[in-house]
Amino acid sequence: MMEKERLRKADIFVSVLIFLFGAWIVKQAFKMPMKDSWGGVMNVWFVSPALFPLLVGTMVIILATLLCRTALKTVGTEELVRTIRWLLSRHVIQYLVSEPILRFYTIVILFLSLVYMNIPRIDFFLSSILFLIVFFTIFYFDDPVLLKKLLFLYLAGVMGFVIYFAAGLDSSLAKVLPYASDLLALWFILAYCFYAWILVRSNPKLRKKFRTSLVVAVSAPFICAPIFKYFLLVPLPAEGLIVALLDRIWYLEF
């Protein structure tokens, strides 16, 4: 949590957002049947599906107003003007590229790329290994310079994958080469690891961390995912190259 003074300043802006959100809820609720017929049922206000959203929206508006009032009272108009000036100045950009914020972006980018891009399209094992190896190398190394370099490489890879999937290359390539997307992901993992190794090879401490990261990143999905796949019989989101390989081993043995 932020410190009190900064929190109050932020509260002013957030309360405005919450107020708008409450107003949007109310607006949407008014579009719901209040007195008209829906599914053959004539509505009255107290049975209407709009009743509860209206209550929620109104309460959100009231509470947002109260929060704004409290925050404004604490901060004062002078300080608010100063904050707005700061928000419009160059300092904001400096703040937005500061290291903690960069770490936040990294985490969010990693999660977004995993959930919205890799998991539905690339073999679960490979997407998990990629996610973990990038996460470990960036955060376990704990070096701001390495963070930027590794993040840029990962971003470049993500952009490449976005173009690859958006252009529909995955389906056309799959006709020629089975598991094309998985092979591409595997290649990217190897390239990433190679780049990370080049960056840390002169530092024995980081080299050790790199080895640990590699072992954990590969072993963790091979421990967790088979529990879901083979013991709980949950089909994985995308089953590709590695799952096919594991299937062969599993059904050969048992």
Partner 1 sequence: MMLFERIGSYFEMVFHLASDPINVVVLFGSVLLGIIFGAMPGLTSTLGVALLTSLTYGMDTATAMVCLLAIYVGGTYGGSYASILVNIPGTAAAAATALDGYPLACKGEGGRAIGLSTTTSAIGTIIGMLFVVSISPIISHFALQFTSFEFFLLAFFGIVISGTLTSPDLVIKGWIAGFLGLFLACVGRDRLQFFPRFTFGIPELDSGIEVVPVLIGAFGIPQIIQVLKDRFQIGETQKFQKILPEFGTIVRNIPKIVRSALIGVGIGAVPGIGEDIAAWVSYGAAKNTSKNPERFGKGEYAGVLSAETANNACVGGAMIPLLNLGIPGSPPAVMLLGALMLHGVTPGPMITFEHPTFILEVASILLLASCAMWVSGMLLAKQVVKVLRIPPPLFMPIIGVLCIIGSYSLGINIFNLYLMLPVGIICYFLTEMGYPIAPLVIGVILGPMADENLRRALMVSQGSFLPVFTRPVSLILFILIVWTVVSQFQFFRDFKDRLGEKLRRKKRPDLSSMNKDLKHNTNRVAHNRQRRRQFS
Footprint of partner 1 on residues 19-38 (CB under 8 A)?
25, 28, 32-33, 38
**Which residue pairs, CB below 8 angstroms and at least 24 apart, start in 208-217?**
209/140, 209/141, 210/137, 210/141, 212/136, 212/140, 213/133, 213/136, 213/137, 213/140, 214/133, 216/132, 216/136, 217/129, 217/132, 217/133, 217/136
- Using CB under 8 A, pick the residue from 72, 140, 148, 164 that binds partner 1: 140
**Structure tokens given for 247:** 């299937």
- Using CB under 8 A, pick the residue from 16, 51, 80, 109 that binds partner 1: 51
Q: How far is the CB of 18 from partner 1 (least distance, A)?
A: 6
**Structure tokens given for 166:** 């958006």
Question: Smaller CB distance to partner 1: residue 177 or 222?
Answer: 222
Q: Of 197, 181, 183, 185, whose CA–CA distance to 129 is shortest?
A: 185
Question: Smaller CB distance to partner 1: residue 153 or 236?
Answer: 236
Segment 205-224, which members bind partner 1 (CB under 8 A)? 212-213, 216, 220-221, 224
Q: How far is the CB of 178 from partner 1 (least distance, A)?
A: 22
Question: Smaller CB distance to partner 1: residue 28 or 172?
Answer: 28
| Cα gap 169→161, rounded to integer Å | 10
Question: Smaller CB distance to partner 1: residue 70 or 203?
Answer: 70
Segment 61-120, which members bind partner 1 (CB under 8 A)? 63-64, 66-67, 70, 100, 103-104, 107-108, 111-112, 114-116, 119-120
- Using CB under 8 A, pick the residue from 12, 132, 193, 246 that binds partner 1: 132
Q: Is position 136 an interface residue for partner 1 (rule: CB under 8 A)?
A: yes
Q: How far is the CB of 95 from partner 1 (least distance, A)?
A: 14
Segment 174-203, which members bind partner 1 (CB under 8 A)? none
| Cα gap 16→67, rounded to integer Å | 9
Q: Is position 44 an interface residue for partner 1 (rule: CB under 8 A)?
A: yes
Quote the radius of gyration of the chain (alpha carbons, Å): 26
Q: Of 141, 149, 163, 218, whose CA–CA distance to 186 is shortest?
A: 218
| Cα gap 212→144, rounded to integer Å | 20
| Cα gap 64→186, rounded to integer Å | 49
Q: Is position 123 an interface residue for partner 1 (rule: CB under 8 A)?
A: no
